[in-house]
Amino acid sequence: MSAHATHRRKTGYTLATSEDSHGGKHRRSRDQGGSGGRSRLPTAWRIFSILELLVLILVLTARHRDANDEVTGPNARPSLLDPTKVALMIDSRPSHLHVPLLLHFVSVVPSEWTFLFLGSEATVDSVKRTPAVKRLVDTGKIEARLLPANVTITNAKQLSKFLTMPWTYRHVLHPAEHILVYQTDSILCANSARSVNEFLSWSWVGAPFTFMKYGGNGGLSLRRVSSIMSLLSQKSYDPRDRRPEDVWLAAEMRNIGIDDICPRDIAKGWGSSSMYSHHPMSYHTGKNGKLLSEAQFGTVALREELYEWCPEIKMHLDMDVASAFTRTCEPKWAKMQPIRDE
């Protein structure tokens, strides 16, 4: 075996004996399986490094996507919730509507909103014991708690007093900045392409009144706490005032120079209460569905339009199926016997 061959076997290098253009110096080349090509090791290492980098990028991308996914309903995670956006229902009276309405609003309102139910021991217990609500309570999406011991709310006057006290916003509703107030005679329409968040630039928005160019019905309204607190630092609500809290707050905020109270033409897109609006985002009736506006329900055509656009409103209407039958149907109905299993 030649000296060159022995050297190649021991070192893995081949010595080129031909002289090059720079004076005949030896050139070394890595032997690759005897073919004289470059080594496979650096190429394999580069491929491995690239694959490792790609895996890292995929992992980080997946984590970022999971952190930004909007999750609604029972899968909502506390990390996605915004405590400054609070949907609020206050009711000390037992109602079969509390849970269905609460769950409906949770499904329609943007997912970062939190929900607060304030009520009596009876209403809070009835809300919290249902499995569907309990799952959302466990995630932090919903909180159901008793009204403060020093607060009694059984009528509109007491509600007006509660919602016009600075103490309420400092201690009960803190840290809320945007409050969506809703009641058992209000509804958001799932068919609407509009979102509550589209109206966050306003200090007050509700279904427009016939007697005010600005403001709107408080039964389903979006309110900015900082603007309310600015008003309450200058004026106090007089319980003898005949105006309910929603009329007083909207009017007095505008009187002190708060100019972002939603005007009627824009508020029509938010909702309908005593004025007609074509396909609004929400509706508000009155007295738990017993008080209906002629502008909403006055004709068959209006009702058909409303029920097709927002069938959820039937949830709180005071409806009796007897009115759907003829006069001769009632005695026939009474004579019908239940079908018995054989």
pTM: 0.73
Overall average pLDDT of the 33-50 stretch: 57
Per DSSP, what are the bridge partners of residue 115? 87, 142
Q: Which domains does the chain have, with CATH numbers?
A: 77-322 (3.90.550.10)
Q: Which residues pair with 119 in a beta bridge?
A: 91, 146
Helix (H) or strand (E) holding 181: strand 178-182
**pLDDT of 78 strictly over 70:** no
* Neighbouring residues of 342: CB distance < 8 A, sequence distance ≥ 6: none
More confident call, 18 vs 233? 233
Which among 287, 284, 203, 285 is positioned nearest to 251, based on CA atoms? 203
Q: What is the pLDDT of residue 174?
A: 97
pLDDT score for 268: 97
Give 272-319 as a DSSP string: ESSS--SS-SEEE-STTTTS--HHHHSSHHHHHHHHHH-GGGGGGS--
pLDDT above 90 coverage of the chain, percent? 63
**What is the C-alpha separation between 178 and 246, in angstroms, rounded?**
15
Helical H segments across 12-113, by residue range: 40-68, 98-108
pLDDT (tens digit per residue) in 297-339: 889 999 999 999 999 999 988 766 555 555 554 554 444 445 5
The Cβ-side half-sphere exposure at 115, using a 13 Å CA radius, reads: 31
The per-residue pLDDT for 321 is 55
262-300 pLDDT, tens per residue? Answer: 999 999 999 999 899 999 999 999 887 788 888 888 899
Average pLDDT, the chain: 82
Q: Exposed, middle or buried: residue 100 (CB in 10 Å: 0-12, 13-18, 19+)?
A: middle
Closest among 212, 214, 220, 201 to 270, alpha carbons compared: 220
Max distance between CA atoms of the chain, in angstroms, equals: 122
DSSP run (H or E) holding 204: strand 204-206
